[in-house]
Structure 1
Amino acid sequence: MLKIKLDKGKDIDKLKLQISAALNKVLQESKDNNILRIIVYPSLENIIGGLMLFNVALNLNIKASISTRLNAPSKITDPTILIGYSNLNYKVSDIESVLVSLSHEINEIPIGNSTFVEINGSIGSGIYFALKGSDIINVKPEYAILSLASTYASKYVSKSGEFSSFDKDVIETLITSDDSLNMEIVTGLKIFRPTSLNFCESLSITLNPLYLTLTNEDSCQRFLKENGFEMLINSNIGKIDNETNKNITVSIYKYLKDNIIKNKIDIQEYVGGVGVSKARIVMQDPREVIYSIMLLIETMGFHSAVGLIADYENEYPQIPHYLRSSVKIAEDVILNNKFNRASQINFAKVYVTNEDNLPITAIQKQLKIMGYIDNDAILGYLDKNKLKIPILSLEDSLGYGSAARFIQTFKGEFDGESVWIKIV
C-alpha cells in the first residue's frame, strides 16, 4: 500500500518511479488475470486519461474494459484502475486484487494491495508522466496529445492558454525535449488544426468556439477577400507573419462582435495560445481531441469514443467529417433559437431543445459565450415528461462532482452518458 502525491518540482524522479511501478504492477496483474477494469468518474479530463490507459492496455494485449460511474465500486475483485474518485471507503476485505486510484485528492489512506496517487495537475499529464518514466510501453506521440487534451479539459490551463502546476512542466518538456512532436504554442484565434488545415477548413470544424456564419467555406472565403486576407484562402495561420495573424484575429473578432454576438463577449474565449503538434501524426490538436470525444459521447454513445481512441490510427481520420456536420447542426440550433427556457422545471436554470443526439455541451458553451444563458445554466433534451442532460453538460455547468449531488437531490438516473430526471 502506498500513497503518492505528484506535484510540480517535488522529488520528480522518485515519484515517477513509484507511479510507474504501480501502473506496471496493475497491468502485469491484468495480464495474469486476463482482465483490467478502468472505472472513471465522468468528467472529460478523467475520461481522456482513462481512454489513454485503455489504449495502452490494448497494445499490451490485455483484455480491458472502461466504464463511467458516479461512485467507485464497493469491492475490487479484478485488477482495477480508478480515476477521479476522492472518497474510497474500503476495508481490507473489499480489495481482493490490485488497485491503483488516480485523482486530484483522495481522502483516505490506501489499504491492502492498493496505491493511491494524488495529482496536482491534470489526470492525463500524470498518466503520461508515469508512462514516459517506465518501460511499460513504447510511448507514442499521440499519447502526448491525449495528455494535453486532458489538460485543456481541466482547470490547469487558463482561457488565455497559460499552463499551471504540474502541467506547466509537461508542456515545457514537450516543446523543448520531444522532437517527434514538433510541438508549439500557436497564439491567435482558437481554431482546430491551425497549422495543418487551410484557414476556412479550420473554421468549418471548430466546435468551440463556433465562428458563426463563417463556418461555410463560401462565406469564409468571401470574408477573407472582402477584408484583404486572400492569402489565407489556400493557407493557414501557421504560414503567415505575426502582423497578418494579428490583423485577421482582430477582423474576425470585430465581425462576430458587430454582426453576430450583440452582447459583450470575452476576447479570451476566441483568442489565446493553443498547443498543437506540427508532426505528421494522426492526432495533432488536443482541443480538437477533446471535442471529438465529447461529440461522440453525446451523439453516438460512450462506446463510440472508446472505439475512436482504441483504434485511432484508422478511426481518427474520419473526425473532420463528424466535426463539420456537428458544427452545422450546432450553428442551426443557436442561430435559429431552437432552445427555450423550461418553464415546468423550477429547480435549476434549465434550457431545453426538442432535438436529441446533439453536441449539447458545445452548444451550451457557445450560448454562455454569447451571453444567451447564464454560466450555471444547463442545456438538455426534453422528451415528454423526461429531461435528459448529458453528464458532461451537467459537470460543465455545475462543477466537478455535481452530477452525483444533482441526481441524489432530484432522484434522477445515470445511464453512463446522461442524467435522466422525471418531470411531474
Structure 2
Amino acid sequence: MDEYRVIESPAAFDDAVARLIGGEGPIAVDAERASGFRYSQRAYLIQMFRRGAGTFLFDPPQIPDFSALQDAIHGDEWVLHAASQDLACLREVGLDPERIFDTELAARLLGMPRVGLGSVVEELLDIKLAKEHSASDWSTRPLPQSWLKYAALDVELLVDVRDRLAERLVETGKVEIAAQEFEAVLHREAKPPAAEPWRRLSGIHAFRSPRNLAVARELWLARDALATELDTAPGRLVPDASLLAAAKAMPSTRRALADLREFNGRASRSELDRWWNAIERGLTTTDLPAVRVPSDAPPPPRAWAARHPEADARLRLARAAIVEVAEQYDMPVENLLTPDHLRRVAWSPPAEATAEAIRAELTALGARPWQIEATSQTIADAFVEASQSVQDATTSPS
C-alpha cells in the first residue's frame, strides 16, 4: 500500500508546487475541516491531484504562505465536489480559483439520483469509495494513514469523474447551463453575519417571552465566547437543548441551575459560574430582545391561503408549472429555479405579469440567464391563470 505523507515543510511545499506546474489538465481540489469538533471552519488538510503530477496533501496549519501555489495554478480549472462547501476555507489560506468544475452540481444538473461523491464515483467509475472518515476530527495530529488514504482518494478519482460528467453535459446540451452555474458558485457573495446569531439556537422559535429570550441570548453569548477561546465546537461544551432548558426554567439561584437535570454537557458543571453569570445578566437586563424579528422575506407558504389568497394561487400554479419544466430538463426543481426566488415573485409580483416583467424580477433576485429563459414565460402564464381563477371565484354566485 502506498504511504501518504503530509506536506508541512518549506522544501516539500516547493517541490509540490513545481510538480503541480509540471502536470497537465484540471486540478482536483478538496479540503477537510473539523466541523463538530472545532469552532473555526478552517481547513486542516487540503488535497490536490493533477495528472502527470500526483497527489499532494497539504497541512495548512504548518504552511504560513500558500501564495506560490496560488500564483502557479489560479488560472487552471479546479475540480471540486460541492465547491460551495470548500471555497471559503480555501480562500482563507489564499487559494482562490478563477475557473471551477463542480462535480456535485454537474451531477444535479444531469438529474443523477444520488449526488454524494461516493455515489457519483460508483455510478460513473464503478468504484466504491469508503466514507468512514468523512466526519472525523481532521485537526488530529498526526493524521492516521487510513485517514490520509481516504482523503487522497477523494481527489485521485475526481478528474476522471469530471471527464465523464463533461461528456454527459455535452450529450444533454447542458454545457452552457453548467458553465453559468459554476460561475454563480464561484462568484456568490458570502452571507453577511447574522445580526443576532443567537437566534439560530435550535428550538428558540417556541419562546414567546422577551425575558426567556434574554436569558437564552446571554447563555449563547457566554458559550460562544468560551468556544472561541478554546476553538471547540459550541455544542460539544453545552448542547443547544441544555441552553434552552435553562432559559425556559430560569433558575433563581446557582444551586437551582446545578440541580437542573436537563442542563448537561461536558462544560455544564466545570463552567457553572460562567453559565450562572449569564443567566443573571439575562434576568436583570433592560435590553430585552424582540419576540419577532422583522424580515423582508415572505411568510411561510402555509399561511398564504388565509393572508393573501391571490399570492397563494400564484405560487401553487407556478410551482406546479415549474415542476413540469424541471422534468423536461431532467433536473431537480430547486436547480431549475431557487424556490425562494419563486416565492418572492409570487408574493410581490410586478404590476403586469408579463414574461418580460418576470424576467426583470428574477434578474434582480440573482437568477442565472438560463434559468430566466427556462421559467419566465411559464411563471407569467401561471400568474395570469391564478389571477383569473381568483377573479372567477370572487364573482361566481354562491
Higher helix share: 2
Give the TM-score, by structure 1 length.
0.25
Greater Rg by CA? 2
Give the TM-score, by structure 2 length.
0.26
Higher strand share: 1
